[in-house]
Chains A and B, each alone.
Chain A
Amino acid sequence: MRVEIRQVESLDDENAVISAVQITESIRNASEILKKNGACIPAIMGNDTYMVRTDQIYYIESVDKRTYVYTKEKCYETKYRLYELEGILGFSFLRCSKAMIVNIRKIRSVRAELNARMSVEMLNSERLIISRGYVKELKRKLGV
């Protein structure tokens, strides 16, 4: 498929049109990624509320019924629960355990462990675990 990208002046002018003979799974995924591009979620740090771009998020963790959003260097708290965020976040986010969602675009590498879990190294060198039950979903998302 021929792909053309043009730079525009404002966010209002941003749009994408995909012309295809058949709407495949890849095209649906691409569409979802484009729709979610630039999406933000409100999150709190200290007394201030910030709009955190979803493409800046590394992972989201739920601890003691509180939800924390981690970017490369910062940690915010959000009022959303993980299951709500699963609906908001895009295709590149994966539920990797009961208490965590990870952005697979921020993964540097994975390593298989003997108990069928995956040890993940993030781009900021943090290490996370993808539980056994969620590895299948990771493979599905990556088309492996």
Chain B
Amino acid sequence: MNKTKLIFSQTLMISTGILFGIGVQAMLSFLLGGDDVIIWEWYIPFSIILAGFLCSLATLFMLYIGEESREKVCIKTAFHFLATLAIVSFCGYIFGWYSSLSAYICVVIMYVLIYAFVWISTIWMLKSDEKKINEAIDEIRDEE
């Protein structure tokens, strides 16, 4: 995947994830007897895209550099998780996505769930490819 495509797709994915999180929060709030409307400042949609863009840069610089060992990938993933969490927290703080500690905790929980979902989906796709490739290789492998 080239760098521009990576940044674009990551920005879209992360922005969608944040919107999904806000949607779930709003739905829970409504179901628990809260407001049935969301009122946003004009800059909130842009702030979500900005957060997605900054997270995509973190992905570009922290996860997709060179060919590395499994251990290094795990360490980098941990740093990537912390860096993107810091970006989301910072953007949330600057743009007022949350106004109390409990709201921030909700954002963090949502973020962890989305991050885990993305990784589980990625691993599932990789394993699915692995299975298909092994099946195809079984059919053409030379006898030794």
The residue from B63, B68, B126, B144 contacting A112, defined by CB atoms under 8 A apart:
B126
Most buried by A among B67, B68, B130: B67
Contacts of B74 in A (CB 8 A): 114
Contacts of B63 in A (CB 8 A): 115
Is B5 an interface residue, CB under 8 A from the partner? no
Nearest CB in chain A to that of B127: its residue: A112
Is B142 an interface residue, CB under 8 A from the partner? yes
Residues A105 and B70 in contact, CB atoms below 8 Å apart = no
Is A108 an interface residue, CB under 8 A from the partner? yes
Residues A132 and B67 in contact, CB atoms below 8 Å apart = yes
The residue from B70, B73, B133, B140 contacting A110, defined by CB atoms under 8 A apart:
B133
Nearest CB in chain A to that of B76: its residue: A115
Is A109 an interface residue, CB under 8 A from the partner? yes
The tally of residues in B whose CB lies under 8 Å from a CB in A reads 21
Contacts of B130 in A (CB 8 A): 110-112, 118
As a 0/1 sequence over residues 121 to 137 of chain B, the CB contacts with chain A under 8 angstroms (1 = contact) are 00100110110111011
Docked complex: A106-144 residues within 8 A CB-CB of B: 106-118, 123-124, 129, 131-132, 135, 138-139, 142-144
Is A92 an interface residue, CB under 8 A from the partner? yes
- Which A positions have Cβ atoms within 8 angstroms of B? 55, 72, 92, 97, 104-118, 123-124, 129, 131-132, 135, 138-139, 142-144
